[in-house]
Each structure stands twice: as structure tokens, then as C-alpha cells.
Amino acid sequence: MRRSPKTGGTPPATRPRRLLLGVTGGIAAYKTLEVVRRFRRLNWEVQVVMTASARRLLGPESFTALAGRPVAHELFPKKRLVTKDSASPHTAFSHIDLARWADVVLVAPATANCLGKLAAGIADDLLSTLLLAVPIETVRNGRALIAPAMNSRMWEHPSVRRNTALLREQGYVIVTPARGELACGDTGPGRLADVEDLAGAVTAAAEASARLPDLAGTRVVVTAGRTEEPLDPVRVLTNRSSGRLGVALARVFRLAGADVRLVCGAVSVPLPASIPATPAPTADAMLVAVTDAAADCDILVMCAAVGDYRPASVSRNKTHATRLTLVLEKTPDILKAVTASKRPPVVIGFSHDPSVAAAREKLRRKRLDLVVANPFETAGADTIGATLVPARGRTTRLSARSKESFARRLAAEAARLLAAARD
């Protein structure tokens, strides 16, 4: 396993945790005052860094008062800002000091400009410079969080989409903006995530279990998305899965050093460019692709929402009947087929029944190593809460968290199961 890094790891028990909060020039900047208050009350040290635009929208005084320390904003400060125990003995390097000082970094709100600069490696003020100086382990271990907030048209702009995807691939946790009424009067996606979500994401990032396992040399297959069973040449029978959790899992396994393959049904999120993906639009195609990919993998995570029924016959033409009766038949049981023959050392399945008893029954029936029992409501949502039910060991209930944090937790569990299987 990878050794504990000097920075970005779990802080020694003797000192409070440290949050570095970057505030950029979005109208939602005032909401992060509550984040500062929350973490100060939990006894965290909080250092706020504001951009020039943020300071124009909201003066630094409230942040200074709540954080109990001056807001940092100058790349060339007259006075050293960070405590005497910071890593650098040089007073002139606040950006390096601050980047090393933090256990968790959160930028909230993050403007389109901030995302663009970080994705492009531009360092022209204190915040953008220190973000590039944050140790790569901190980023890979999911302790650098970016919470974008902007007008919907800006959020949906291809350049912003591309920059966000690039940052995700590097390991930044993107706290997805919410949908709703925006400050400019428009309605749509782009609202800064709620304080609860921001605080939850910071807390999850600080957990020791957020650290990535070392999976170099391990082959992982993740299925993602939904199957679409044809009814006729234009219509399909499908479900609401977005593929977001499967894609997040694939990305996390990749960050952990594994050789990852995605087997994908239809997905509503962009696929990571760095991960090979085999398309599997129907249950039959998924069976073939999974059987093939799983033959020589170490960990198989069956995250895709494979429809359990399909039309018994597919009409050759688009049907225009006033009333139509569909006859459905069962699709193949992919998990059972994979575990019946030469199975990978670790096979993880999902159950939409939240009951632990049902998960245990599924574990036995399908010869799995772990079942993730999660309720239906999580399909298509940004967060997931679920119970991890392993074949051996303790059942763990995970409260609702971002799909990225959940993916990190599940990857750690998969690494533990693989180590146990190899013992």
C-alpha cells in the first residue's frame, strides 16, 4: 500500500484539522460564511483566501471575524500569514505555506474563471498560485474540493464542461451545483451546493477512508449506466440510471493506479477520455462484454442498472396501434453467469432493496463478495447513501454523500477484499 504522505494525509491527533477555503468572485460568496462558522465550531482552523473579485462582491471583514484570522489575498504579502508551524521557513512564500498547511482545500464558490485557470495551470494571483502548489497527494486523495457556482448558460458552456471534466480526472472532487433559481433571475443548474452538502463533502474528504488505496497492477472492470431494450426501431424500455456512480468509480480506480475498463450502457454523463469503454446497450450485449472483460480481471463492480425485463419480441416497424399489449421476458442474470464459471477474485453487486437481509440473500445466491444495498431514490441523484454488506466482515451504513466520495469509500473496500482474497 502507498505510504502515508507528509501532507494531505490524516492530521496528527494533537492538532485541529485545517481547512483552506478559497472564495472567488461569485454572488454566492456570502453563503460560505456559514461554512467557516460550522468548521470553526467543530474546532477546525480555517484560513480564507479571497480573489480580488470576491473582495469586491463581499468585504473580507466577516470572513476574518468568523475565521478568527485575517483573510489572505496578496501574492506578495508584507506579513507572513500562516502559523509558525507551517512547513516553509521562508516568509516570502505564502502560497507554498498555505498549500502545505491545509488538510482539506475547498474553493466555494468557484467561478468559471477559477475553473478555467486551474484546468489550464494559470497562476496569476494568490489563490490560483496556491491551488497549483497543493500537493498532488492531497488532490488524488480527494481532499481538494471545488464547488462551482454560476449562471446556467455559463455552467453548460462546453469550455466550462471540459475544464470541470479535466479537473475531475485529476482527482479534484467537484461539488456539483444545485438546480434552482439563480441570483441573475434565471432558473436552472448553477446554484452553489447547499451549505449542508459543502460541509458534508469537507467532512467526508477529511475521513481517513477517503485516502486512495494503491491498486497499481490491478485490473478492474466497472459496468455503468442503463440498458435500453428495443421495442421497435425507435422506442426502448429503460430506467433512470445516469451512469454517474459507475463513471465516478471507474475514475477513482484509475486514480488509484488500476488498469480500468468500463462496460457501458447508456449514460448521461461524459465518459473519462483516459478509460477504455466497451459499449453494451442491451442486457445481452452486457452479458457478452462482461463475460469477456471479467475473464482476467481482479475486481468486477457491477454498477450498471441492467433491466430485468425486455420485450419478448421487437416490432420491425414503429407501432401506431391505439392500444398495445407488451409481453415481457426476463433478461439474462449476468452476475450469476459470471460467478458460475471462473470468477474474478472480487465481485461487487448492487441491490435496490435497502434491507440487509435481502443483500445477504443476494450475496449467497449470486456468490458475491459485497453487495451495496441502496434505495431507488439515488438513481439519477447527485448523492448516494447505502449499506455495504460484505460476505465476510462488518456491515457498514454510509450516510448520504457525493457519488465521488462514495466511490472512494467503495474502492477502498474493494482493495481490502482483494487483499483478503489473495491472502
Ligand X SMILES: Cc1cc2nc3c(=O)[nH]c(=O)nc-3n(C[C@H](O)[C@H](O)[C@H](O)COP(=O)(O)O)c2cc1C
Cα distance between residue 97 and residue 31, in whole Å = 26
Residue 29 C-beta: closest distance to ligand X, Å: 8
Stretch that binds ligand X, among 106-114, 245-253, 255-263, 331-339 (CB under 6 A): 106-114
DSSP line for 284-321: HHHHHHHHHHHTT-SEEEE-SB--SEEESS--SS----
Task: Note whether 24 binds ligand X by CB under 6 A.
Answer: yes
Bridge-based pairing state of the strands 383-390 and 396-402: antiparallel
Q: Which of residues 32-51 bind ligand X (CB under 6 A)?
A: 51
DSSP state of 298: S
On whether 78 is known to bind a ligand per the annotation, the reply is: no
| Helix axis angle, 112-120 to 158-170, nearest 10° | 50
On whether 145 is known to bind a ligand per the annotation, the reply is: no
Task: Closer to ligand X by CB, 159 or 355: give it.
Answer: 159
Cα distance between residue 131 and residue 54, in whole Å = 16
Interface map 151-170 toward ligand X (x if CB under 6 A) = ---x----------------
Q: Count residues binding ligand X (CB under 6 A).
A: 16
Q: Which position among 22, 25, 307, 349 is part of the footprint of ligand X (CB under 6 A)?
A: 25
Task: Note whether 54 binds ligand X by CB under 6 A.
Answer: yes
Cα distance between residue 206 and residue 83, in whole Å = 21
On whether 350 is known to bind a ligand per the annotation, the reply is: yes
Bridge-based pairing state of the strands 370-373 and 346-351: parallel
Cα distance between residue 8 and residue 99, in whole Å = 10
DSSP state of 8: S
Cα distance between residue 99 and residue 112, in whole Å = 21
Task: Note whether 10 binds ligand X by CB under 6 A.
Answer: no
Q: Which of residues 290-319 bind ligand X (CB under 6 A)?
A: none
**408 contact partners, CB below 8 Å, separation of at least 6:** 142, 209, 210, 212, 252
Q: Give 3-state DSSP helix, strand, coil % of the chain, rounded to 5.
A: 35, 20, 40
Task: Note whether 146 binds ligand X by CB under 6 A.
Answer: no
184 is catalytic: yes
Task: Closer to ligand X by CB, 158 or 217: give it.
Answer: 158
Task: Note whether 114 binds ligand X by CB under 6 A.
Answer: yes
Task: Note whether 26 binds ligand X by CB under 6 A.
Answer: yes
Cα distance between residue 329 and residue 191, in whole Å = 43
Q: Which position among 32, 47, 94, 113 is part of the footprint of ligand X (CB under 6 A)?
A: 113
Residue 250 C-beta: closest distance to ligand X, Å: 29
C-alpha cell at 416: 481490502
Task: Note whether 285 binds ligand X by CB under 6 A.
Answer: no
Q: Which residue numbers belong to the known binding site for CTP? A: 308, 318, 332-335, 350, 362, 366
Residue list for the binding site: 308, 318, 332-335, 350, 362, 366
Catalytic site residues? 184
Q: Which residues bind ligand X (CB under 6 A)?
A: 24-28, 51, 53-54, 109, 111-114, 149-150, 154
